[in-house]
Structure 1
Amino acid sequence: MIRMNVNYILPFLLLLVSFSSCSRKYKIEGNSSVTSLDGKMLFLKTLQNGQWVTIDSSEVVHGLFSMKGPVDSVMMVTLYMDDEGIMPLILEDGRIEIIISNSQLSAKGTLLNNALYEFIEKRNAMEVEMGELERKEARMVLDGANLEDVHEQLAKEEETLAKEMNDYVKDFIIENYENVLGPGVFMMMCSTLPYPIMTPQIEDIMRTAPLIFKENAFVKDFLSKAKQNMQLLEEHKRLQQSSETTAMQH
């Protein structure tokens, strides 16, 4: 029987791990049909300790741009032109194809970017459907439908669509708790709020969230600020009720 020397094999395996980690690289190939981008510099930036840090950059020449480099760890980044964020993407091992046009923004070619933009496209389609309700209302009224009946019907449709969209976002975050998509989409969702606050949707997300998600720097910071704001709102509500009670007694 042939016996393998473990003391020989182990360093060899470690060497393989070392080489494989060094060989992980991203390659971005971008194509833009937006003429105003020609000659502009694009930057890849990531949020670190509350600051946007530049990772890479490229000039757009005749609608084309490219970037490449090593991937130490998978991260969510934002493509910027000057100080304007254009689109999110995942910096990961592989070839990432970016398309920028007046009607489309997409980053595809790698596993997480494909998942991210499938999510974004479906959510955008839901938003378009929500926007269609106003036009639907105008058509129904022009067709002679009763205004109150129209409002009642469309209010129900809007509520159903809003719940469907909220559930879709929530489920996507839950499915991706343990990779960068979960915290990244959570960050995108929270950025639409006027200020950090605990909503029923966020409470649902946090109810089953694992420690790795809760310990994410952005998630942790958001939750801390949201809880402070909730306490302030409760205090304001309590003072208002106390003031109203005093006024009624007088």
Structure 2
Amino acid sequence: MIKFYSSLLLILFALTSCSKSYKIKGVSSVSSLDGKMLFLKVAKEGKWVNVDSAEVVHGEFSMKGSVDSVQMVSLFMDDENIMPMVLEGGSIEINISNTKLTVKGTPLNDKLYAFVEKKASMDARSEELGHKEAKMILDGVDPAEINVILTKESDQLSNEMNSYVKSFIAENYENVLGPGVFLMMCSNFPYPLMTPAMEDIVKNAPDSFKNNPLIKEYVSKAHDNMQSIQEHQMMQQNEQQAAMISQKQPAASIAH
């Protein structure tokens, strides 16, 4: 009996160990990547820290190792951030081409790149509005009518995108995809800012999301920036009001 339990514990330990092991197989059709070193990096305390690396040889590269916990990481070539991914137990497949970047093979990576693909299709629809505007102008449509039509479509698409991003993050509050995608969306701004949609995401999030160090740092910096912007706008308004008053004062004294 003791021997049976010992064997069972060894099997369980082996299974547990395998679940934390990762194996990455990458394929690249981008010829300029051949001979280059690729690095997996994780953000820690405001810095990118190397986790693993591999050389691209004849369009292929591979990595393997183990992780203590699931991590949101990025694949880098030198200092260039190529693509985000999740480092989790299992076999991970990366495909890099000039037109598409994909990661698949594990649950969270499949989920992440389903999101990336859908978000990309929405972005493409947004870009298409510009082409539609040019076509309508060439067709002689009244500019006022064009503005009404495109504003309505743009607002609808923006609401759809915000709703999709918010729901995806909310569904993944408790795993690395929630904070990871939130910060991906934030990276589109030139500096940390909080939109109403982002405020809703944080407001409705559980403590595990709010207390994520990267989220806390971003939100804190964003609120500081928003306060600075409001103070600057208020200063400008006060200066404009003071200028208007000073312009009126001579006319008032002459009339007197």
TM-score normalised by the chain length of structure 1: 0.91
Q: Distance in 2 between matches of 1:211 and 1:16?
A: 36
Partner of 1:192 in structure 2?
188
SS at match of 2:137: helix
Aligned residue in 1 for 2:29: 33
**Per-residue CA shift, 1:123-173, capped at 9, x if unaligned?**
000000111111112222222322221122112111111111121111111
> Which one of 216, 219, 223 corresponds to residue 227 of structure 1?
223
Residue segments in structure 2 that go unaligned for 5+ positions in a row? 247-256
Matched, 1:88 2:100: no
Q: How does 1:124-143 map to 2 (within 5 A)?
A: 124-143=120-139
Q: 1:122 aligned to 2:132?
A: no
Alignment CA distance shift 1:227-1:14 (3 Å): farther
Letter paired with 2:168: F
Tell me what 1:151 maps to.
147
SS of equivalent to 2:94: strand
What does residue 22 of structure 1 align with?
17
After superposition, the C-alpha distances for 1:157-197 in whole angstroms (9 at most, x for unaligned) are 11111111121111111111010000000110111112112
**2:237 partner SS:** helix
Pick aligned residue for 2:60 from 54, 61, 64: 64
Determine if contact 1:21/1:72 at 8 Å carries over to the other structure. no
How many residues align? The count is: 244
Q: 2:46 — aligned with what?
A: 50
CA distance 1:208–1:141, shift in 2 (3 Å): same
Q: Which of 103, 106, 113 lines up with 1:110 in the alignment? A: 106
Larger radius of gyration: 2
Gaps of 5+ in 1: none
Q: What do residues 92-148 of structure 1 show as CA deviations (whole Å, max 9, x unaligned)?
A: 011111000111100001100000000000000000011111111222222232222
Q: 1:27 to 1:199 in 2, by over 3 A?
A: same
Tell me the secondary structure at the aligned position of residue 247 of structure 1.
helix
Q: Please list the CA deviations of residues 41-99 of structure 1 after superposition, one character each: whole Å capped at 9, or x if unmatched.
A: 11101111111111111111111110010121000110011111110000001111100
Separation (CA, whole Å) in 2 of partners of 1:27 and 1:191: 28
Percent of aligned positions with the same letter in both sequences?
A: 56
Amino acid at match of 2:201: I
Higher mean C-alpha displacement, 227-236 vs 16-25 = 16-25
Distance 1:63 1:93 in 2: 24
